[in-house]
Structure 1
Amino acid sequence: MKHQKVKLKPPSWLKTWFLDKFDLSAETSDELVSRLRSAQKKNILAPNSLSMMEGVIQVDNLQVRDIMIPRSHIQFVFHDDKYHDILTRILDSGHSRYPVLDKNLDDVEGVLLAKDLLKYVGREDEFDMDDILRPAIVVPESQKLESLLAHFRRSRNHMAVVVDEYSGTAGLVTIEDVLEQIVGEIDDEHDHIDDKLDIRKHGDGRFTVLAGTEISVFNHYFKTTLPDTAFDTVGGVVTNEFGKIPKQHEELIIETMRFKVLRSDSRRIQLLEVNTAQAA
């Protein structure tokens, strides 16, 4: 007897419930975010899950230049540095990876992993930089973060050197920098060393600023007078000026500076671009 295969269909109530709760017929990223926020209001998504989903969606609109560590903040070592000099630099900065330079920041020869120095413990006189030097990944400022993350995954590298249009070193970017755009800030024991890392200069009067930057730090850096009585952070001031939680790419002008939202979720602004040269 020949058995006929039966195609099972989900109960109509289940299909109706799913379509009612998750309407994914959006045609734009903004519309999709709006519907995800609606799902969160219905307690279908947890706030943290919504925040990460928004981060994933918005990563595609960001470029490496938006999140990179600028040239002036790069921690590096020279190819000809002595073993103990390198150890001193590592102890002072606390990083795990360092660009290795020949003469200057435009001559990056490779990357040093701090853990690779362990093989020379007890025989420091045999230290040879070329024996542990790893190749450096080089990416342009304009590369999309989605593409960079895929590159990191394929190559199993965690850091890349960022170059400008003239092939000069513009900065560094790490896999942590990319992931922070999705999951939020990843604090470690060294993040408090320099508050100015919250403000990154990119040239032409353009800066990226973490929305959580304290107003006093912002005012000191830019020589501004943003009010610090009602709000503690730059994000609070900008949100108040908008009168709402602004969406990505929305802009306004405060004290002759143009503020552009690079990333936000349903609860707060996360990353801003500040332009001091194009407020008009």
Structure 2
Amino acid sequence: MSELWFEIAVVLALVVVNGALAMAEMALVSAKKARLQAQAESHAGARAALRLIAEPGRYLSTIQVGITLIGMLAGAFSGATIAERVAVWLRPMAPVAAYADALAIGGVVVAITFVSLVAGELVPKRIALAHAETLAIALARPFEWAVRALGPVARVLDWTSDALLRLMGIRRRDAVPVTEEEIDLMLKEGAAAGAFEHKERELVKNVFRLGDREVGQIMTPRTEVVFLDLAEDVAVNLKRIADSPHTRFPVIDGDPENVIGIVAVKEIAAQSFAGRPVDLRAALRPPFFVPETTSALALIELFRTHRSQMALAVDEYGVIQGVATLGDILETVVGAVPASDGKSEQPMLTRRGDGSWLVDGMLPVDELKELLAVKALPGEQLGFRTLAGFVMARLGRVPAAADAFAWANFRFEVVDMDGKRIDKVLIVPPPPARKGTTTP
């Protein structure tokens, strides 16, 4: 009987080793690389884990070799030794004597399989998922020694696996870097779990948009820009400043196509406080021009380099199309902010009670696609950047109020025009499907 208990102890020990291998595998597979990198400077285990993760073929082959050897040893002990001893114990029992060998083998196989699955696979992997980085760091160094010891065997298995994959037309891919979509998904999950505020997720999402949006999408269009004109009386220019919430203005000298500088309200105020007459020309700063195709993210660095807070956006012909400021970039990230006069801009999107949306014509294309839950819009190759551009592209002309069209089950209706500019568009989504009906 003592030999039986010894053999059972050996099998249990093999199950424990199998569990350690399964735990190491799951910990290394599920550990967050960024968390390991954060601890790599001060922890040798983290560095070892990163080395293993960099070559997954080596450690996966080593684990498979170990698990296979353990399975063979456990099978040998359970089939050839433990089952035989259990059969000897069952044979004196008259009711089962005739089936002693079969019952012994079946019972031992079922028992060891159950213990192996629970204690050797499921429980270790659940623990590894719950404490991936901690276990990866703890197990990485001893596991590296095992990888070195079984290196030749693991390499042969790795090469064989690669050869078979190539025959199947499957190529090994390098690790894919984290994408914006994955980061947004992690933030979404974190917000749902309470680790992040939903507003924090929106801010991060909007920061990513800076790299995708062009200056032409965030600028104030030329038709809405307030210009100061040196050819006009000072009182006229001062009234324009007083009637506007802006703190910086582009300045022309009679010719609207020739901006000669930028003036800040504080410079004019400084002249007034000093008792000097207002002189716009003396307060001028050189104008700063950027292509309208410049990304909003690049514009931030250009503002820093040129020590400016206002840029004039020009098209490929050098014609001014609008003005972009640091405030426009801020609004791209945080949304509409109150102007200096305390008035807030109207929101780009207004949800109505019937489920439709009243949308500003200047809504950027990326936000429009997000609203419609589509990946692309027809005619994007034409280069439109806003909802107004999309509407004009679909209609093929400058629309009038009440013009409408349908696309992808959405109805678009021009509600308001500001001259030739589309001011507001009503977007009516498709009606929800009724319960019990199916779409053809």
Q: TM-score, normalised by structure 2?
A: 0.43
1:109 and 2:260 correspond: yes
2:390 corresponding residue in structure 1 = 275
CA RMSD of aligned residues (A): 3.7
| Superposed CA offset, 1:57-90 (max 9, x none) | 1211110111111111010111244433322111
Larger Rg: 2
Residues 194 and 178 (structure 1 numbering): CA distance in 2 closer, same or farther, change over 3 Å? closer
2:133 aligned residue (15, 30, 33):
15
Counterpart AA for 2:294: Q
The answer as to whether partners of 1:70 and 1:171 remain within 8 angstroms in 2 is: yes
Q: Across the two proteins, how many residue pairs are aligned to each other?
A: 221
1:204 corresponding residue in structure 2 = none
CA distance in 2, matches of 1:34, 1:273: 30
CA distance in 2, matches of 1:274, 1:211: 17
1:78 and 2:216 correspond: no
2:279 corresponding residue in structure 1 = 128
1:32 corresponding residue in structure 2 = 183
Structure 1: state its 5+ residue gaps.
Answer: 1-5, 18-24, 199-209, 215-227, 236-241, 254-261, 263-270
Residues 195-210 of structure 1 mapped to structure 2, 5 A cutoff: 210=348
> Displacement of 1:32 after TM fit?
2.5
* Structure richer in strand, relative to its length: 1
* Structure richer in helix, relative to its length: 2
| Superposed CA offset, 1:89-143 (max 9, x none) | 1111132111000223310000011111123327777443332111111011101
Q: Secondary structure at 1:60's aligned position in 2?
A: helix
2:107 corresponding residue in structure 1 = none
1:170 and 2:314 correspond: no
Counterpart AA for 1:15: E
CA distance in 2, matches of 1:127, 1:143: 35
1:180 and 2:295 correspond: no
CA distance in 1, matches of 2:269, 2:343: 27
The answer as to whether partners of 1:26 and 1:32 remain within 8 angstroms in 2 is: no
CA distance in 1, matches of 2:336, 2:257: 29
> Displacement of 1:177 after TM fit?
0.6
CA distance in 2, matches of 1:90, 1:15: 59
1:54 and 2:205 correspond: yes
Q: Secondary structure at 2:212's aligned position in 1?
A: coil
1:211 aligned residue (342, 349, 353):
349
Q: Secondary structure at 2:393's aligned position in 1?
A: coil
| Superposed CA offset, 1:182-235 (max 9, x none) | 12221225585986xx7xxxxxxxxxxx224x7xxxxxxxxxxxxx55147436
Greater Cα shift, 150-159 or 98-107? 150-159
Residues 141 and 193 (structure 1 numbering): CA distance in 2 closer, same or farther, change over 3 Å? same
Structure 2: state its 5+ residue gaps.
Answer: 1-40, 47-127, 136-175, 360-367, 380-384, 395-406, 408-440
